[in-house]
Amino acid sequence: MQQNVRIGLRASSGGLLTTVDAGPALPLSQMLIGRAVDDVVSLLPRVFNLCRSAQEGAARLALGMPLNDAYATQLARELLRDHLIKFCLTWPRLLSLPSQPLPPPEATLTGLFGSVATMPADLPSYLVWLHSESGMAPVLRGIAEAFAPGEACVALPMTHANSVFSALPQDNSPALRHREHPVLQGLLARYGAGPLWRATARLIDAEACYLGGLPPLQRLADGTALAPAARGVYAVRASAIDGRLVAFQRVTPTDHLFLPDGMLSQSFASLPPAKKTFAALLLDILDPCVPCQLEEIHNA
């Protein structure tokens, strides 16, 4: 059950101003409250068919229900597949590069990095790799060439456990799991928190998913459950009485993306109007989990 979101783009002196028309929010709590908890955890991933494992896991954890033994592997595979689709299919198409099939599991690391089969350890070695033809380097190089340093960047705090249910603008993206990585630190200083930084964070996250380095789900003291997701972190608060749901809240990376002065707004505000041809690529790198339509709004 997906809602279509219309994103208006209007040129300004410094960038593109955005308006977001998401339509009425789905009354999710009303749909779920009163149901048996087993029904809730099975229904939620069917209502929102992306990040299914993250949704189910967060709901189970928030309600004190067990995760099966294969859950961590299932979640990592889900995230890895989402990342590979970006690198192999979606971003090449938006960059007018040839797409390629997703690599088989045993060739995942060589598919991502080429013969070195590992993420470069620091910015200098990453930049050397970026200018090679190894793995996904041509795709990331295309992103680097599309957006100059400082373009399509944000200046936002990363989402954390105490901010996730806040309506304050924040950066909820895969970069939050790897913010201390030397390559991301170097890119942040050199390019800003923009498209290359975000795409590289997904590359690092893909490797972590494959190698079993995804962080575990968390359950906070107030019952909030946090689950890693392909777009960042997914949060659920829920409680039940006698096996039936009595309260439910959730926050997704897309909720944070669309906040006023949030990731979407700031990214487009620092994209020069002359580069509006890259608007679809930028939107896909920001990666809302709902179908979106970009519409250019002309100044009167």
Q: Which residue's structure tokens are 């979640």?
A: 75
Give the residues across from 294 on adjacent strands. Answer: 7
Q: Which residues contact 161 (CB under 8 A, 6 or more apart)?
A: 218, 220, 224, 226
| pLDDT above 90 (res 65) | yes
Radius of gyration of the chain (CA): 19
CB 155 within 8 A of CB 267: no
More confident residue, 25 or 120: 120
**Banded model confidence at residue 27, pLDDT cuts 50, 70, 90:** confident
Taking residues 31-49, report their average pLDDT: 86
At 127-179, the pLDDT tens digits run: 999 999 999 999 999 999 999 999 999 999 999 999 999 999 999 999 999 99
Q: What is the pLDDT of residue 49?
A: 67
Of the ranges 6-10, 20-24, 118-122, 270-274, which one carries the lowest mean pLDDT score?
Answer: 20-24
| pLDDT above 90 (res 265) | yes
Taking residues 33-43, report their average pLDDT: 92
C-alpha span between 187 and 120 (Å, rounded): 13
**Phi and psi (nearest 5°) for 225?**
-110, 135
**Banded model confidence at residue 300, pLDDT cuts 50, 70, 90:** low
Q: What is the pLDDT of residue 156?
A: 98
Taking residues 1-30, report their average pLDDT: 86
Q: Say how many CA atoms lie within 13 Å of 79 toward its Cβ.
A: 33
The residue type of 86 is K
C-alpha span between 76 and 72 (Å, rounded): 6
Closest CA to 47 of 24, 65, 29, 60: 29
* Angle of the 182-191 helix axis to the 123-130 helix axis, nearest 10: 80
More confident residue, 30 or 274: 274
**DSSP states of the chain:** ----EEEEEEE-SSSEEEEEE--SPP-HHHHHTTSBHHHHHHHHHHHS-SSHHHHHHHHHHHTTPPPPTTHHHHHHHHHHHHHHHIIIIIHHHHTT----PPPPGGGHHHHHHGGG-S--SSHHHHHHHHTS-STTHHHHHHHHHHS-TTTT-B--PBP-TTTTT--S--B-SGGGGSTT-HHHHHHHHHH-BSHHHHHHHHHHHHHHHHHT-PPPPEE-TTS-EEEEETTEEEEEEEEEETTEEEEEEEE-HHHHHTSTTSHHHHHHHTS-GGGGGGHHHHHHHH--SS-EEEEEE---
Taking residues 76-86, report their average pLDDT: 97
Q: What is the pLDDT of residue 4?
A: 84
Domain residue limits, the chain:
5-297
| pLDDT above 90 (res 26) | no
The residue type of 200 is T
CA-CA-CA-CA torsion sign (5, 282, 187, 142) = positive
**Architecture, CATH, for domain 5-297:** Orthogonal Bundle (1.10)
| Whole-prediction pTM | 0.95
| pLDDT above 50 (res 272) | yes
Q: What is the pLDDT of residue 1?
A: 47
Taking residues 240-252, report their average pLDDT: 94
Taking residues 182-195, report their average pLDDT: 98
Residue 24 corresponds to which tokens in the numbers above? 């009425």
**DSSP states of 116-182:** G-S--SSHHHHHHHHTS-STTHHHHHHHHHHS-TTTT-B--PBP-TTTTT--S--B-SGGGGSTT-H
Taking residues 61-67, report their average pLDDT: 94
